[in-house]
Amino acid sequence: MDKIFILILMMSYMFLVVACPGSNEEKVQQNAVQNTGFRQTNWGMTPDEVKQTEKSTPLKQTNELVLYRVYHMDNPAKTGFVFKDGKLVKGAYLFEETYDNPDEYIATYEKIKSALISDYGPPSLDEIKWANDEDRDLAEADGKSVCEGEVIYKSEWVQEYTLITLLLDGANHKCRQGIIYESKLNYISEHPEAARPPAADQGK
């Protein structure tokens, strides 16, 4: 299984489990095949249908993943299309640019976030946090801390049919940066609690 596939799954599971605005499950199911905003595909496409939307030859293809090398937002990247039961449920960009100065990863993150805000509006979640010490002063966070896996940058957008996550984190002293697009229907099927409306306030 390709490393990017593992990364896509790992990153997607980091979504906060919250009620998605407007996530009426019946409505989403009725409109399961909708434009994703992820390249030129629709959720629910087969691998063959997805490959017809791309001009280049895949770097790798399995029953679960079709992988390409692309440029996105002026950055070299791998883009992966992830399938479940033969249907497209997720897509992602994994940016491949490396920097001698780790702070450049943060600068790139902010540039990509600004572009996503232009497309989708303000994120529903926009956070920076220490991985293992929530009380630590964020003024100490820098690119080196990110690449060492100590600090995580994450922004999320909730669209009508798609959940989008921009993530910057690190492992083995290397920074990882990517954008994940996931079918809201797939997310709800894996996290049914996300489709439930908030409980009514007690005492009302």
Name the residue ranges covered by the structural domains of the chain: 3-195
Quick: pLDDT tens for 145-198. 999 999 999 999 999 899 999 999 998 899 999 999 999 999 888 887 766 655
| Strand, helix or coil for residue 129 | strand
Give the pLDDT of residue 191.
81
DSSP tag of 196: S
Output the pLDDT for position 52. 95
Chain center to CA of 40:
17
The continuous run of DSSP H or E covering 91 comes out as strand 87-95
Distance from C-alpha of 129 to C-alpha of 154, rounded to nearest angstrom: 9
Contact between 188 and 195 (Cβ < 8 Å): yes
Identify the residue with better confidence: 31 or 144. 144
Helices (H) and strands (E) in the chain, counts: 6, 8
Instruction: Check if the beta carbon of residue 130 is closer than 8 Å to that of residue 141.
Output: yes
Q: Rounding to the nearest 10 degrees, give the CA dihedral for residues 118, 120, 125, 129.
A: -40
Answer yes or no: is pLDDT of 8 > 70. Answer: no
- Paired tokens of 140: 């100490």
* Measured distance CA(35)–CA(44) in Å, rounded: 10
The residues facing 181 across adjacent strands are 91, 164
Contact 47, 156 (CB under 8 A): no
Going by pLDDT thresholds of 50, 70 and 90, the confidence category of residue 33 is low
Whole-angstrom distance, CA of residue 23 vs CA of residue 158: 10
Mean pLDDT check: name the lowest of 56-60, 145-149, 150-154, 200-204. Answer: 200-204
Dump pLDDT digits (tens) for 103-146: 999 999 999 999 999 999 999 999 999 988 877 888 888 999 99
pLDDT at 204: 42
CA–CA distance, 181 with 202 (Å, rounded to integer): 36
| Higher-scoring residue by pLDDT: 83, 26 | 83
Per-residue pLDDT averaged across 56-74, rounded?
94
Residue 68 — very low, low, confident or very high, per pLDDT cuts 50/70/90?
Answer: very high
- 153 membership: H or E segment, kind and range: strand 151-158
Determine the pLDDT at residue 116: 96
Q: Which pLDDT value is given to residue 97?
A: 94
